[in-house]
């Protein structure tokens, strides 16, 4: 079976699809990833076929040091890029279609997959790498610092979704996509994000049901398979000798990362360094952007551009991060307490779910001060209840078989129950 997998976004967005591609290849299938050239070396090193879409300059503009710091401006830039590259993704994927033996696998924002389904009769498997893309009025995902909750009035929940569609998703995503659909003779979509997951032939949640329990108003075929935890490809790279030396010292060490796509984190790192000094702990600052790292770091704090989290997280006592689903799942796997500083996208919802599990605390950017960090980190480092909750999560994760389940869903899509070439709703 040929599996076409278009990817867009940061490392945290692309790596789950690479994990799926590796698992599918191991089962004898022929996956192809479609991604920005920035990711081509990583994908090739994993032994997966890849087609480059766009330019490295595109990636730098969206996720580099000059990317917008404001979440809404960043989302607008990403949406514009999606609209510009959608025809390229569609054209490249269409050239690889083998009739009757092809499935397309993608997130719900990659509209090229839906075009392939409607125009070329290729079954589409929707992938939700985080639960926030699944709408629910019973247990709404938290999409911002303050959002409707399970106990909010029904009318307020409906209003919240209508406002987000009318003023955010429709202008940024739906209208450009409808322009492209018109060029192919397809009818326009109306509020596709309201029931988008229900348009796919199959749906996978790349998270476990204990992290995000399925809701009765989710599409019936959504299967939460678990986090896509896979062994690193090839020989793990040797750690920076300076990092190795710091990790070998006695005393607690905390890792700080704002996410690979965040080039505007000067305030985050400045506060983090000062908190480390006050608490007398060691810190590892992870960022590919040198400009926002404080000058003259103390000897107990080290900046490195990159670390293999699978090798380093088991050796630190806590991780402070943005709440991206990749860092979230790796820290759960390694049993590391988390302090979340969410800024956008799925991060608020992930933070809420981690706190429900008892393994994390949250500080919004406006509240991320030296005093607040110094009050919160010791709670994470010393709380027996947090350690117990982490141990329970680790045990659950090691019992899972996420990649096998995900592959089985993809394999079943060729025998999908509803016609792959028709839209199930406008």
Q: Name the DSSP class of 225.
A: -
Residues 6+ apart with CB under 8 A from 367: none
Under DSSP, the state recorded for 135 is -
Check if the beta carbon of residue 85 is closer than 8 Å to that of residue 59.
no
Rg for the chain (alpha carbons), in Å?
Answer: 21
Dig out the tokens for 353 from the structure. Answer: 């779910």
Query: Among all chains, which residue has been given the structure tokens 């960022």?
Result: 287
58-105 residue pLDDT tens: 888 777 655 556 777 778 888 888 889 999 999 999 999 999 999 999
In this predicted model, what pLDDT tens digit does every residue of 321-337 receive, in sequence order? 999 999 999 999 999 99
Domains identified in the chain and CATH numbers = 2-226+401-415 (3.40.50.2000), 241-398 (3.40.50.2000)
Compute the CA torsion angle 310, 130, 10, 312 (nearest 10 deg): -10
Token pair for residue 239? Answer: 């750690």
Tell me the C-alpha to C-alpha distance, in Å, between residue 233 and each of 261, 306, 308, 334, 406.
Answer: 22, 16, 11, 18, 20
CA distance 291 to 281: 24
- Answering whether pTM is above 0.85, one says yes
**Residue with token string 């406008």:** 426
* CA pair distance 125, 108, nearest whole angstrom: 9
- CB contact burial 207-227 (16+ within 10 A = b; e otherwise): bbeebbebbeebbebbebbbb
Below-50 pLDDT ranges, the chain: 417-426
- Percentages helix, strand, coil for the chain (3-state, rounded to 5) are 45, 15, 40
Cα–Cα dist 109/121, whole Å: 19
* Burial track 61-97 (b if 16+ CB lie within 10 A, e otherwise): ebbeeebbeeeeebbebbbebbbebbebbbebbeebb
């Amino acid at each position: 079976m040929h599996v076409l997998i278009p990817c867009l976004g940061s490392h945290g967005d692309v790596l789950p699809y690479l994990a799926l591609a590796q698992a599918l290849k191991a089962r004898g299938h022929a996956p192809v990833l479609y991604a920005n050239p920035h990711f081509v070396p990583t994908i090739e090193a994993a032994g997966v076929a890849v087609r480059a879409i766009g330019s490295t300059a595109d990636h730098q503009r969206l996720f580099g040091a000059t990317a917008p710091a404001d979440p809404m401006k960043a989302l607008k830039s990403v949406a514009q890029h999606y609209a510009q590259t959608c025809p390229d993704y569609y054209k490249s994927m269409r050239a690889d279609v083998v009739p009757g033996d092809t499935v397309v696998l993608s997130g719900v924002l990659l509209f090229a997959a839906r075009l392939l389904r409607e125009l070329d009769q290729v079954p589409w498997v929707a992938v939700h790498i985080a639960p926030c893309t699944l709408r629910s009025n019973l247990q709404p995902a938290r999409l911002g610092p303050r959002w409707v909750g399970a106990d909010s009035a029904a009318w307020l929940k409906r209003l919240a979704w209508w406002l987000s569609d009318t003023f955010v998703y429709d202008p940024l995503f739906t209208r450009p996509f409808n322009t492209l659909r018109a060029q192919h003779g397809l009818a326009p979509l109306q509020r596709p994000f309201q029931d988008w997951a229900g348009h796919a032939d199959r749906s996978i949640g790349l998270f476990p049901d204990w992290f995000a329990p399925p809701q009765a108003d989710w599409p019936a075929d959504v299967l939460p398979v678990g986090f896509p935890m896979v062994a690193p490809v090839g020989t793990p790279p040797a750690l920076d000798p300076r990092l190795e030396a710091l990790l070998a010292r006695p005393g607690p060490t905390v890792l700080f990362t704002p996410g690979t796509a965040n080039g505007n984190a000067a305030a985050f790192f400045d506060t983090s360094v000062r908190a480390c000094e006050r608490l007398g702990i060691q810190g590892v600052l992870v960022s590919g952007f040198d400009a926002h790292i404080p000058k003259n770091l103390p000897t107990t704090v080290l900046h490195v551009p990159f670390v293999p989290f699978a090798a380093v997280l088991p050796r630190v006592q806590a991780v402070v991060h943005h709440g991206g689903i990749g860092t979230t799942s790796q820290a759960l796997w390694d049993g590391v307490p988390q302090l979340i500083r969410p800024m956008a996208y799925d991060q608020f919802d992930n933070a809420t779910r981690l706190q429900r599990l008892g393994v994390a605390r949250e500080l919004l950017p406006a509240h991320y001060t030296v005093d607040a960090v110094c009050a919160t980190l010791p709670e994470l480092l010393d709380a027996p209840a947090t350690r117990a909750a982490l141990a329970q999560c680790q045990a659950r994760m090691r019992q899972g078989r996420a990649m096998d389940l995900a592959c089985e869903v993809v394999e079943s899509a060729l025998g999908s129950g509803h016609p792959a070439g028709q839209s199930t709703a406008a």
